[in-house]
Protein backbone atom coordinates (compact mmCIF):
# COMPACT_ATOMS: atom_id res chain seq x y z
CA UNK A 1 0.00 0.00 0.00
CA UNK A 2 1.31 3.43 -0.96
CA UNK A 3 2.24 5.61 2.00
CA UNK A 4 0.03 8.68 2.27
CA UNK A 5 1.81 11.96 3.00
CA UNK A 6 0.39 14.81 5.03
CA UNK A 7 0.24 18.01 2.97
CA UNK A 8 0.79 21.52 4.29
CA UNK A 9 0.72 25.09 2.97
CA UNK A 10 4.03 26.90 3.37
CA UNK A 11 3.45 30.06 1.36
CA UNK A 12 0.56 32.23 0.15
CA UNK A 13 0.63 34.93 -2.52
CA UNK A 14 -2.25 37.24 -3.37
CA UNK A 15 -2.83 39.97 -5.95
CA UNK A 16 -6.32 41.44 -5.64
CA UNK A 17 -8.45 44.58 -5.80
CA UNK A 18 -8.18 44.84 -1.98
CA UNK A 19 -4.52 44.06 -1.41
CA UNK A 20 -1.40 42.64 -3.00
CA UNK A 21 -0.01 40.56 -0.15
CA UNK A 22 -1.76 38.34 2.40
CA UNK A 23 -1.73 40.72 5.38
CA UNK A 24 -3.08 43.72 3.50
CA UNK A 25 -5.59 41.54 1.66
CA UNK A 26 -7.02 39.89 4.76
CA UNK A 27 -7.14 43.12 6.79
CA UNK A 28 -9.32 44.69 4.11
CA UNK A 29 -11.53 41.62 3.74
CA UNK A 30 -11.98 41.43 7.54
CA UNK A 31 -12.83 45.14 7.67
CA UNK A 32 -15.29 44.87 4.77
CA UNK A 33 -13.35 47.33 2.61
CA UNK A 34 -14.59 46.86 -0.94
CA UNK A 35 -12.57 46.94 -4.16
CA UNK A 36 -15.69 47.27 -6.33
CA UNK A 37 -15.61 50.49 -8.35
CA UNK A 38 -16.81 52.06 -11.57
CA UNK A 39 -15.03 50.67 -14.61
CA UNK A 40 -13.09 53.06 -16.83
CA UNK A 41 -13.48 52.88 -20.60
CA UNK A 42 -11.67 49.94 -22.16
CA UNK A 43 -9.42 51.01 -25.02
CA UNK A 44 -11.61 54.07 -25.42
CA UNK A 45 -14.75 51.96 -25.79
CA UNK A 46 -17.71 52.10 -23.45
CA UNK A 47 -18.86 48.83 -21.92
CA UNK A 48 -22.36 47.73 -20.92
CA UNK A 49 -20.87 46.61 -17.60
CA UNK A 50 -20.33 49.63 -15.37
CA UNK A 51 -18.74 48.14 -12.25
CA UNK A 52 -16.16 45.53 -11.30
CA UNK A 53 -13.48 44.80 -8.72
CA UNK A 54 -10.27 45.70 -10.52
CA UNK A 55 -6.63 46.28 -9.70
CA UNK A 56 -4.98 49.62 -10.28
CA UNK A 57 -2.12 49.47 -7.75
CA UNK A 58 1.35 48.15 -8.65
CA UNK A 59 1.35 44.34 -8.74
CA UNK A 60 5.01 43.40 -8.67
CA UNK A 61 8.20 43.95 -10.58
CA UNK A 62 7.74 40.37 -11.77
CA UNK A 63 6.34 40.43 -15.30
CA UNK A 64 6.21 44.23 -15.55
CA UNK A 65 6.75 45.35 -19.10
CA UNK A 66 6.93 41.77 -20.32
CA UNK A 67 4.85 40.85 -23.40
CA UNK A 68 2.39 38.73 -21.47
CA UNK A 69 -1.37 38.71 -21.19
CA UNK A 70 -2.62 40.39 -18.02
CA UNK A 71 -3.72 37.05 -16.57
CA UNK A 72 -0.13 35.83 -16.85
CA UNK A 73 1.27 38.96 -15.21
CA UNK A 74 -1.11 38.49 -12.27
CA UNK A 75 -0.07 34.84 -11.97
CA UNK A 76 3.64 35.74 -12.03
CA UNK A 77 3.14 38.29 -9.27
CA UNK A 78 1.03 36.14 -6.93
CA UNK A 79 3.06 33.00 -7.64
CA UNK A 80 6.28 34.86 -6.89
CA UNK A 81 4.88 36.13 -3.58
CA UNK A 82 3.91 32.57 -2.56
CA UNK A 83 7.31 31.13 -3.44
CA UNK A 84 9.04 33.92 -1.53
CA UNK A 85 6.92 33.40 1.60
CA UNK A 86 7.64 29.67 1.44
CA UNK A 87 11.38 30.44 1.46
CA UNK A 88 11.97 28.90 -1.96
CA UNK A 89 13.28 31.80 -4.04
CA UNK A 90 16.59 31.71 -2.16
CA UNK A 91 16.80 27.94 -2.63
CA UNK A 92 16.76 27.35 -6.40
CA UNK A 93 17.66 23.70 -5.93
CA UNK A 94 14.24 23.21 -4.30
CA UNK A 95 12.48 24.75 -7.30
CA UNK A 96 13.77 21.96 -9.52
CA UNK A 97 11.03 19.34 -9.51
CA UNK A 98 8.45 21.71 -8.03
CA UNK A 99 5.22 21.60 -10.03
CA UNK A 100 2.59 24.12 -11.07
CA UNK A 101 -1.16 23.57 -10.90
CA UNK A 102 -3.04 26.61 -12.21
CA UNK A 103 -6.75 27.25 -12.61
CA UNK A 104 -8.28 29.89 -14.88
CA UNK A 105 -11.73 30.22 -16.40
CA UNK A 106 -11.18 32.60 -19.30
CA UNK A 107 -7.38 32.53 -19.23
CA UNK A 108 -5.75 34.87 -21.76
CA UNK A 109 -8.91 36.68 -22.83
CA UNK A 110 -7.22 40.08 -23.28
CA UNK A 111 -4.90 38.69 -25.97
CA UNK A 112 -7.77 37.01 -27.79
CA UNK A 113 -9.92 40.15 -27.51
CA UNK A 114 -7.14 42.29 -28.92
CA UNK A 115 -6.52 39.89 -31.80
CA UNK A 116 -10.18 39.90 -32.79
CA UNK A 117 -10.26 43.70 -32.54
CA UNK A 118 -7.29 44.00 -34.89
CA UNK A 119 -8.78 41.53 -37.37
CA UNK A 120 -12.41 42.56 -37.45
CA UNK A 121 -12.41 46.21 -36.40
CA UNK A 122 -9.14 47.44 -37.86
CA UNK A 123 -9.14 44.99 -40.80
CA UNK A 124 -5.52 44.01 -40.23
CA UNK A 125 -4.31 40.99 -42.18
CA UNK A 126 -1.50 40.10 -39.77
CA UNK A 127 -1.27 39.57 -36.04
CA UNK A 128 1.69 39.80 -33.70
CA UNK A 129 3.81 36.62 -34.05
CA UNK A 130 3.45 35.72 -30.37
CA UNK A 131 -0.36 36.05 -30.31
CA UNK A 132 -0.91 32.29 -30.19
CA UNK A 133 1.69 31.43 -27.49
CA UNK A 134 0.40 34.30 -25.33
CA UNK A 135 -3.23 33.26 -25.68
CA UNK A 136 -3.16 29.49 -25.10
CA UNK A 137 -4.75 28.35 -21.85
CA UNK A 138 -1.53 26.99 -20.36
CA UNK A 139 0.47 30.19 -20.98
CA UNK A 140 0.24 31.45 -17.36
CA UNK A 141 1.35 28.12 -15.88
CA UNK A 142 4.13 27.75 -18.42
CA UNK A 143 5.41 31.27 -17.80
CA UNK A 144 5.44 30.58 -14.04
CA UNK A 145 7.60 27.53 -14.68
CA UNK A 146 9.92 29.45 -17.00
CA UNK A 147 10.28 32.46 -14.71
CA UNK A 148 11.04 30.47 -11.54
CA UNK A 149 12.59 27.27 -12.89
CA UNK A 150 9.75 24.98 -11.80
CA UNK A 151 10.50 21.78 -13.67
CA UNK A 152 7.87 19.50 -12.14
CA UNK A 153 4.39 18.61 -13.37
CA UNK A 154 2.70 21.57 -15.09
CA UNK A 155 -1.10 21.35 -15.30
CA UNK A 156 -3.79 23.87 -16.21
CA UNK A 157 -7.41 23.44 -15.14
CA UNK A 158 -10.25 25.36 -16.79
CA UNK A 159 -13.50 24.53 -15.01
CA UNK A 160 -15.15 27.95 -14.74
CA UNK A 161 -15.55 29.00 -11.08
CA UNK A 162 -14.09 25.71 -9.77
CA UNK A 163 -10.82 25.99 -11.71
CA UNK A 164 -8.35 26.97 -8.99
CA UNK A 165 -10.08 24.96 -6.25
CA UNK A 166 -9.68 21.92 -8.48
CA UNK A 167 -6.04 22.84 -9.19
CA UNK A 168 -5.34 22.93 -5.45
CA UNK A 169 -7.32 19.78 -4.74
CA UNK A 170 -5.50 17.81 -7.41
CA UNK A 171 -2.19 19.13 -6.08
CA UNK A 172 -3.19 17.85 -2.64
CA UNK A 173 -3.89 14.41 -4.11
CA UNK A 174 -0.65 14.30 -6.10
CA UNK A 175 1.51 15.12 -3.08
CA UNK A 176 -0.47 12.96 -0.68
CA UNK A 177 -0.06 9.90 -2.89
CA UNK A 178 3.65 10.43 -3.46
CA UNK A 179 3.69 11.57 -7.09
CA UNK A 180 5.58 14.74 -6.22
CA UNK A 181 6.96 16.61 -3.24
CA UNK A 182 5.92 20.20 -3.82
CA UNK A 183 3.48 22.13 -6.06
CA UNK A 184 2.74 25.83 -6.56
CA UNK A 185 -1.05 25.74 -6.87
CA UNK A 186 -3.69 28.42 -7.37
CA UNK A 187 -5.36 30.49 -10.03
CA UNK A 188 -5.38 33.70 -12.02
CA UNK A 189 -8.15 35.57 -13.82
CA UNK A 190 -8.23 38.80 -15.82
CA UNK A 191 -11.54 38.80 -17.65
CA UNK A 192 -12.37 42.50 -17.65
CA UNK A 193 -12.10 42.81 -21.41
CA UNK A 194 -14.50 44.37 -23.89
CA UNK A 195 -15.70 41.09 -25.39
CA UNK A 196 -15.96 39.12 -22.15
CA UNK A 197 -17.88 41.94 -20.45
CA UNK A 198 -20.40 42.00 -23.31
CA UNK A 199 -20.85 38.22 -22.96
CA UNK A 200 -21.46 38.52 -19.22
CA UNK A 201 -23.89 41.36 -19.74
CA UNK A 202 -25.88 39.19 -22.15
CA UNK A 203 -26.16 36.46 -19.50
CA UNK A 204 -28.01 38.90 -17.19
CA UNK A 205 -26.35 37.57 -14.05
CA UNK A 206 -24.50 40.75 -13.08
CA UNK A 207 -25.57 43.17 -10.37
CA UNK A 208 -26.31 46.75 -11.43
CA UNK A 209 -24.45 49.56 -9.65
CA UNK A 210 -25.85 50.28 -6.20
CA UNK A 211 -26.22 53.87 -5.02
CA UNK A 212 -23.12 52.97 -3.02
CA UNK A 213 -21.10 51.43 -5.81
CA UNK A 214 -18.80 49.51 -3.45
CA UNK A 215 -21.85 47.76 -1.97
CA UNK A 216 -23.18 46.42 -5.29
CA UNK A 217 -22.35 42.78 -4.46
CA UNK A 218 -24.44 41.57 -1.51
CA UNK A 219 -24.17 37.79 -0.99
CA UNK A 220 -26.93 36.25 1.16
CA UNK A 221 -28.67 39.60 1.63
CA UNK A 222 -32.42 39.57 0.98
CA UNK A 223 -31.90 42.38 -1.56
CA UNK A 224 -29.09 40.64 -3.46
CA UNK A 225 -29.44 40.97 -7.21
CA UNK A 226 -26.39 39.57 -8.96
CA UNK A 227 -22.67 39.04 -8.95
CA UNK A 228 -19.86 41.50 -9.62
CA UNK A 229 -16.85 40.43 -11.66
CA UNK A 230 -13.35 40.73 -10.23
CA UNK A 231 -9.79 40.14 -11.35
CA UNK A 232 -6.81 38.83 -9.44
CA UNK A 233 -4.66 35.84 -8.58
CA UNK A 234 -3.82 33.70 -5.57
CA UNK A 235 -1.30 30.89 -5.18
CA UNK A 236 -0.03 28.72 -2.39
CA UNK A 237 2.87 26.36 -2.02
CA UNK A 238 1.69 22.87 -1.07
CA UNK A 239 4.29 20.35 0.09
CA UNK A 240 4.83 17.25 2.16
CA UNK A 241 4.80 17.95 5.87
CA UNK A 242 8.07 16.05 6.29
CA UNK A 243 9.77 18.13 3.60
CA UNK A 244 8.53 21.38 5.11
CA UNK A 245 9.72 20.36 8.56
CA UNK A 246 13.10 19.24 7.27
CA UNK A 247 13.85 22.64 5.75
CA UNK A 248 12.28 24.66 8.58
CA UNK A 249 9.59 26.16 6.36
CA UNK A 250 6.68 28.15 7.82
CA UNK A 251 3.60 25.94 8.12
CA UNK A 252 0.48 28.03 7.56
CA UNK A 253 -2.12 25.24 7.46
CA UNK A 254 -2.63 21.59 6.63
CA UNK A 255 -4.77 20.58 3.66
CA UNK A 256 -6.89 17.63 4.73
CA UNK A 257 -9.92 17.36 2.44
CA UNK A 258 -10.97 17.66 -1.18
CA UNK A 259 -14.31 16.65 -2.67
CA UNK A 260 -15.87 17.02 -6.11
CA UNK A 261 -19.07 16.26 -7.98
CA UNK A 262 -20.91 17.33 -11.12
CA UNK A 263 -24.54 18.44 -11.23
CA UNK A 264 -25.00 16.98 -14.74
CA UNK A 265 -28.26 18.86 -15.05
CA UNK A 266 -27.84 22.45 -16.29
CA UNK A 267 -25.09 24.84 -17.42
CA UNK A 268 -26.06 27.70 -15.10
CA UNK A 269 -28.64 26.47 -12.56
CA UNK A 270 -26.94 24.77 -9.56
CA UNK A 271 -28.01 21.51 -7.93
CA UNK A 272 -28.15 21.27 -4.15
CA UNK A 273 -27.98 17.48 -4.34
CA UNK A 274 -24.54 17.51 -5.97
CA UNK A 275 -23.24 20.39 -3.88
CA UNK A 276 -24.08 18.28 -0.84
CA UNK A 277 -22.27 15.32 -2.39
CA UNK A 278 -19.13 17.41 -2.99
CA UNK A 279 -19.13 18.69 0.61
CA UNK A 280 -19.69 15.19 1.98
CA UNK A 281 -16.92 13.83 -0.25
CA UNK A 282 -14.53 16.46 1.15
CA UNK A 283 -15.51 15.59 4.74
CA UNK A 284 -15.00 11.89 4.03
CA UNK A 285 -11.63 12.60 2.43
CA UNK A 286 -10.61 14.58 5.54
CA UNK A 287 -11.99 11.78 7.76
CA UNK A 288 -13.92 14.26 9.89
CA UNK A 289 -17.55 14.83 10.79
CA UNK A 290 -19.46 17.92 9.71
CA UNK A 291 -19.46 19.10 13.33
CA UNK A 292 -15.66 19.62 13.09
CA UNK A 293 -16.05 22.53 10.65
CA UNK A 294 -15.70 25.89 12.42
CA UNK A 295 -16.09 28.18 9.42
CA UNK A 296 -17.44 27.99 5.87
CA UNK A 297 -16.15 30.37 3.22
CA UNK A 298 -19.12 30.12 0.90
CA UNK A 299 -19.20 30.30 -2.88
CA UNK A 300 -21.76 33.07 -2.22
CA UNK A 301 -21.85 35.01 -5.48
CA UNK A 302 -24.77 37.29 -4.63
CA UNK A 303 -27.27 35.85 -7.09
CA UNK A 304 -30.79 35.12 -5.88
CA UNK A 305 -30.87 31.45 -6.92
CA UNK A 306 -27.19 30.60 -6.34
CA UNK A 307 -27.11 31.77 -2.72
CA UNK A 308 -30.43 30.07 -1.94
CA UNK A 309 -29.27 26.72 -3.34
CA UNK A 310 -25.95 26.91 -1.46
CA UNK A 311 -27.77 27.72 1.77
CA UNK A 312 -30.00 24.67 1.20
CA UNK A 313 -26.88 22.54 0.71
CA UNK A 314 -25.31 23.79 3.94
CA UNK A 315 -28.52 23.15 5.91
CA UNK A 316 -28.56 19.60 4.55
CA UNK A 317 -24.97 18.83 5.55
CA UNK A 318 -24.81 20.64 8.89
CA UNK A 319 -27.26 20.12 11.74
CA UNK A 320 -26.31 23.53 13.10
CA UNK A 321 -24.52 25.47 10.41
CA UNK A 322 -21.14 26.91 11.37
CA UNK A 323 -20.51 30.61 10.70
CA UNK A 324 -20.68 31.36 6.98
CA UNK A 325 -19.38 34.32 5.00
CA UNK A 326 -18.57 35.25 1.41
CA UNK A 327 -15.57 37.44 0.65
CA UNK A 328 -16.80 38.01 -2.92
CA UNK A 329 -18.67 41.01 -1.52
CA UNK A 330 -15.38 42.94 -1.50
CA UNK A 331 -13.09 41.34 -4.10
CA UNK A 332 -15.76 40.35 -6.61
CA UNK A 333 -16.13 37.04 -8.37
CA UNK A 334 -12.73 36.12 -9.79
CA UNK A 335 -14.17 33.11 -11.57
CA UNK A 336 -11.28 30.65 -12.09
CA UNK A 337 -9.16 32.32 -9.40
CA UNK A 338 -12.02 32.48 -6.89
CA UNK A 339 -11.40 29.13 -5.20
CA UNK A 340 -7.74 29.95 -4.54
CA UNK A 341 -8.31 33.42 -3.14
CA UNK A 342 -11.16 32.15 -0.96
CA UNK A 343 -9.06 29.28 0.39
CA UNK A 344 -6.37 31.87 1.16
CA UNK A 345 -9.04 33.86 3.01
CA UNK A 346 -9.98 30.76 5.01
CA UNK A 347 -6.37 29.99 5.98
CA UNK A 348 -5.71 33.59 7.00
CA UNK A 349 -8.94 33.57 9.00
CA UNK A 350 -7.66 30.51 10.91
CA UNK A 351 -4.34 32.21 11.60
CA UNK A 352 -5.96 35.39 12.89
CA UNK A 353 -8.93 33.73 14.66
CA UNK A 354 -11.18 36.14 12.76
CA UNK A 355 -14.20 35.28 10.64
CA UNK A 356 -14.54 38.01 8.01
CA UNK A 357 -18.02 39.40 7.48
CA UNK A 358 -20.18 39.14 4.39
CA UNK A 359 -19.88 42.84 3.62
CA UNK A 360 -22.99 44.75 2.51
CA UNK A 361 -25.34 41.95 3.63
CA UNK A 362 -27.72 44.52 5.03
CA UNK A 363 -31.14 42.85 4.87
CA UNK A 364 -31.56 39.53 6.70
CA UNK A 365 -33.00 36.74 4.56
CA UNK A 366 -34.69 34.36 7.03
CA UNK A 367 -35.41 31.83 4.27
CA UNK A 368 -31.71 30.90 4.08
CA UNK A 369 -31.56 29.38 7.58
CA UNK A 370 -27.76 29.62 7.95
CA UNK A 371 -25.47 31.62 10.26
CA UNK A 372 -24.28 34.36 7.90
CA UNK A 373 -21.68 36.61 9.53
CA UNK A 374 -22.73 40.18 8.77
CA UNK A 375 -21.87 43.68 9.90
CA UNK A 376 -18.36 43.29 11.28
CA UNK A 377 -15.79 40.54 11.75
CA UNK A 378 -16.40 37.85 14.36
CA UNK A 379 -13.51 36.86 16.62
CA UNK A 380 -13.52 33.10 17.03
CA UNK A 381 -11.02 30.26 17.17
CA UNK A 382 -11.06 28.40 13.86
CA UNK A 383 -9.44 24.99 13.83
CA UNK A 384 -10.94 23.70 10.57
CA UNK A 385 -12.35 25.65 7.62
CA UNK A 386 -14.24 24.59 4.51
CA UNK A 387 -14.27 26.50 1.21
CA UNK A 388 -16.88 25.97 -1.52
CA UNK A 389 -16.48 26.53 -5.27
CA UNK A 390 -19.46 25.79 -7.50
CA UNK A 391 -19.05 26.36 -11.24
CA UNK A 392 -21.03 26.98 -14.39
CA UNK A 393 -21.36 23.62 -16.07
CA UNK A 394 -22.16 22.03 -12.71
CA UNK A 395 -18.65 21.23 -11.47
CA UNK A 396 -18.33 21.45 -7.68
CA UNK A 397 -15.06 21.51 -5.74
CA UNK A 398 -14.74 21.73 -1.94
CA UNK A 399 -11.53 22.16 0.04
CA UNK A 400 -10.89 21.69 3.77
CA UNK A 401 -7.93 23.14 5.65
CA UNK A 402 -6.90 22.63 9.26
CA UNK A 403 -4.92 24.93 11.53
Which residues are part of the catalytic machinery?
Answer: 161, 299, 333
**C-alpha angle 328/333/337, rounded to 5°?**
110
Contacts of 57 (CB under 8 A, 6+ apart): 20
Counts of helices then strands in the chain (DSSP H, E)? 13, 14
Which of left, alpha, beta for 336 (phi over 0: left; psi -120 to 50: alpha)? alpha
**C-alpha angle 143/172/331, rounded to 5°?**
65
Give the number of other CB atoms < 10 A from CB of residue 308.
Answer: 17
- HSE at residue 230, side-chain half, CA atoms within 13 A, is 36
List C-alpha distances in Å: 207 to 75, 337, 392.
27, 20, 17
Residue 364, phi then psi, degrees to nearest 5:
-60, 135
Amino acid sequence: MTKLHRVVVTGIGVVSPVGNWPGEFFNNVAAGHSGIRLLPALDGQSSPVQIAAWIDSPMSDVGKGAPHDRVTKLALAAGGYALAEAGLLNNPELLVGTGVHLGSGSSCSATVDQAFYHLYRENRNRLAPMTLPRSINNAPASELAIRFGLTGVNNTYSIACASSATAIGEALRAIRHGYTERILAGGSEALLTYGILHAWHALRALAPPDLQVEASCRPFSADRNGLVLGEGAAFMVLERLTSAQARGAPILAEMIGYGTSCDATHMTHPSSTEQVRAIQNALADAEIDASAIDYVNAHGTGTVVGDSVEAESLRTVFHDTPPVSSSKAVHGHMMGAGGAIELATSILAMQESIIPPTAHCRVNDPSLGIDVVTGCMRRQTIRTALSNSFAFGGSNAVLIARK
